[in-house]
């Protein structure tokens, strides 16, 4: 093996760490991902920088927190001026490819809540910055034509891009252009009136008529295999970012994956009643379910009944096993191409899902472990052996790790730290991590969009909600389900004060250090 390894980086959308066989799930079958973990390091306490798609994906690309890189909530855009770790790899001679979901730019074409509600007719200048976001390469209009849309590259460092946007069986981007050509009856396949029969009542459960081979997850794997086996691809080392848009809702696994699992296979380990003193947003969601049943968007967290949650679990499990099958196909192609012995293989997700925790579904502002903790597996040809690490780590550490393994210095302003010492020697990593959350609109009983900052240590989780006279404090070492809020417990006042001070230090450090100032004599 030469000194510069290839990287095959698998990432899924909205997948909890504990929903993989190698992370101990008793039902979900993931033999191919488990096989990667069997020859790699499985991180058991790696958390996202923010449990929302776009901000955390931007943190993965930049190694910086959302408050620093500027993509603060879904509907924003990572500036095209932002440097990513992929830019560094490309500058070092790597062939770089993004295959699947990117979600670094807005793809719905719809105005944000702020744009709809905060515009004032008398405002002569709308924003604090003169330059707004550039036209989005991921916008649906770009892919309405028959001819393949040509993305301006490098796209955040990627020189080859096969784009997927949106979710479920109505994904857009290059996939949608291919789908319209591959399926002459594509309109009928996407017509919601043609849903296949089923008896599920779960919100967003939809039995798609789209065949497995035409489904977006299969397309992503096909394009990844094309890339790995392309004889025209340069002899340079590569970084392939293979991004599946599942198991994000809607819950619509195709074909055999729909009924691969039964709702009766699952149980709710953390029902709402398990929480001894639910915080106000959790109580609001509970009361909303038993009252108005409002949901601002299809992406907004909801409270659901036991049967609906078990159905969502069964369908999510089907989507995860579908992903696992396609991961197996891609790794098999890597082996067949003679690239396996020179390639670092990673598996990760952009954030988790409540998926039944306290009867919740989807994602939101409550930073419970199921939402912020994600799978991270690193299988390195320099020593493929099974191992696990309980080192506390963050998404922002991943790009620093990849650059370290590629032998490249990170750019100035990166906030992550390389995990290679932990991987190679078992060394510790961080004593505490910061997790941010910025809501895009007032939800869950808040009068304004919530701003939440969380400090996690190996033993504690403290969450501060801006402007609120309450917060959250959990002794996660003794209460891993985070079921008893100790915020108002006098016995833990000193711990609350100490962790709040530590959080203040982290917030004080959230400044963009780039560009670096010149020393003045």
Pairing of strands 376-379, 387-389: unpaired
Express as a percent the part of the chain with pLDDT over 70: 97
User: Token pair of 217, please?
Assistant: 């997850």
Q: CA nearest 102: which of 113, 115, 86?
A: 86
For 367, other C-beta atoms within 10 Å of its C-beta total: 24
Length of the chain: 521
d(CA 373, CA 396): 13
User: Coil, strand, or helix at residue 12?
Assistant: strand
**Residue 201: is it exposed, middle or buried by C-beta count within 10 angstroms (0-12/13-18/19+)?**
exposed
- pLDDT tens profile 33-67: 999 999 999 999 999 999 999 999 999 999 999 99
| CA 67-400-351 angle, 5° bins | 55
The mean pLDDT value for 92-115 works out to 83
Q: CA nearest 498: which of 467, 457, 465?
A: 457
Is the distance from CB of 155 to CB of 102 less than 8 angstroms?
A: yes
Express as a percent the part of the chain with pLDDT over 90: 89
- pLDDT tens profile 179-214: 999 999 999 999 999 999 999 999 999 999 999 999
- What is the per-residue pLDDT for 127? 81
| pTM for this prediction | 0.96
The mean pLDDT value for 358-384 works out to 97
Q: CA nearest 167: which of 213, 133, 216, 234?
A: 216
- What is the per-residue pLDDT for 108? 73
pLDDT class of 473 with cuts at 50, 70, 90: very high
The mean pLDDT value for 64-80 works out to 93
Q: CA nearest 213: which of 251, 240, 175, 247?
A: 175
Residue with tokens 């100032």: 517
CA dist 244 to 116, 149, 163, 237, Å?
31, 20, 11, 22
Q: Report the CATH architecture of 6-111+135-427.
A: 3-Layer(aba) Sandwich (3.40)
Q: Which of 124-128, 364-368, 397-401, 409-413 has the lowest mean pLDDT?
A: 124-128
Give residue 14's Cα distance to chain centre. 5
Is residue 15 over pLDDT 80?
A: yes
Cβ-Cβ contacts under 8 Å for 414 (sequence gap 6 or more) = 62, 63, 64, 85, 396, 399, 400
- What is the per-residue pLDDT for 1? 44
User: Coil, strand, or helix at residue 172?
Assistant: strand
DSSP string, 341-385: GGEEEEEEES----TTGGGEESB-S---HHHHB--EEEE-TT---
Q: Which of 125-129, 399-403, 423-427 has the lowest mean pLDDT?
A: 125-129
d(CA 89, CA 407): 10
Q: Which segments of 359-518 does DSSP mark as H helices, in order?
A: 369-372, 397-405, 420-425, 493-508
- What is the per-residue pLDDT for 324? 99
d(CA 109, CA 129): 21
Output the average pLDDT for the chain.
95
């Amino acid at each position: 093996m030469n000194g510069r390894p290839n990287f095959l980086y698998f990432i899924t959308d909205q997948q909890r760490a504990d929903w993989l066989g190698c992370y101990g799930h008793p039902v979900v079958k993931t033999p191919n991902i488990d096989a990667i973990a069997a020859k790699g390091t499985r991180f058991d306490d790696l958390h996202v920088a923010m449990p929302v798609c776009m901000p955390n994906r931007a943190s993965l690309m930049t190694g910086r927190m959302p408050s620093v890189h500027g993509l603060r909530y879904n509907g924003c855009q990572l500036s095209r001026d932002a440097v990513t770790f992929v830019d560094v790899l490309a500058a070092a001679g790597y062939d770089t490819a993004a295959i699947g979901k990117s979600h670094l730019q807005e793809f719905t074409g719809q105005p944000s809540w702020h744009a709809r509600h905060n515009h004032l007719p008398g405002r002569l200048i709308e924003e604090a910055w003169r330059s707004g976001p550039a036209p989005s390469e991921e916008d649906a209009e770009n892919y309405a034509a028959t001819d393949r849309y040509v993305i301006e590259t490098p796209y955040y460092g990627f020189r080859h891009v096969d784009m997927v946007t949106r979710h479920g069986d109505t994904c857009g981007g290059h996939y949608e252009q291919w789908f319209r050509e591959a399926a002459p009856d594509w309109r009928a396949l996407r017509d919601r009136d043609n849903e296949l029969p089923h008896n599920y009542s779960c919100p967003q459960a939809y039995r798609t008529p789209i065949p497995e081979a035409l489904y977006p997850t299969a397309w992503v794997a096909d394009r990844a295999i094309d890339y790995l086996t392309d004889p025209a691809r340069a002899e340079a080392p590569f970084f392939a970012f293979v991004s599946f848009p599942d198991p994000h809702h809607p819950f619509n696994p195709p074909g055999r994956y729909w009924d691969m699992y039964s709702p009766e296979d699952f149980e709710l380990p953390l029902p709402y009643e398990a929480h001894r003193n639910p915080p106000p947003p959790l109580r609001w969601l509970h009361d909303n379910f038993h009252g108005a049943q409002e949901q601002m968007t299809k992406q907004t967290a909801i409270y659901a009944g036991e049967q609906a949650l078990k159905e969502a679990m069964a369908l999510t499990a089907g989507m995860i096993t579908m992903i696992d099958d396609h991961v197996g196909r891609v790794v098999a192609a890597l082996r067949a191409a003679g690239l396996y012995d020179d390639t670092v293989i990673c598996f990760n997700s952009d954030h988790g899902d409540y998926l039944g925790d306290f009867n919740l579904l989807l994602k939101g502002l409550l930073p419970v472990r199921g939402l912020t903790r994600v799978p991270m597996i690193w299988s390195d040809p320099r020593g493929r052996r099974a191992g696990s690490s309980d080192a506390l780590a963050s998404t922002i550490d991943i790009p620093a790790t990849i650059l370290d393994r590629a032998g490249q210095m990170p750019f100035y302003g990166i906030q992550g730290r390389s995990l290679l010492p932990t991987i190679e020697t078992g060394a510790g990593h961080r004593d505490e991590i910061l997790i941010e959350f910025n809501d895009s609109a007032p939800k869950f009983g808040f009068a304004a969009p919530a701003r939440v900052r969380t400090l996690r240590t190996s033993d504690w989780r403290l969450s501060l909600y801006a402007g609120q006279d309450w917060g959250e404090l959990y002794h996660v070492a003794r209460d891993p389900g985070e079921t008893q809020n100790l915020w108002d417990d006098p016995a833990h006042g000193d711990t609350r004060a100490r962790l709040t001070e530590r959080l203040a230090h982290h917030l004080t450090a959230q400044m963009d250090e780039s560009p670096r100032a010149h020393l003045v004599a």
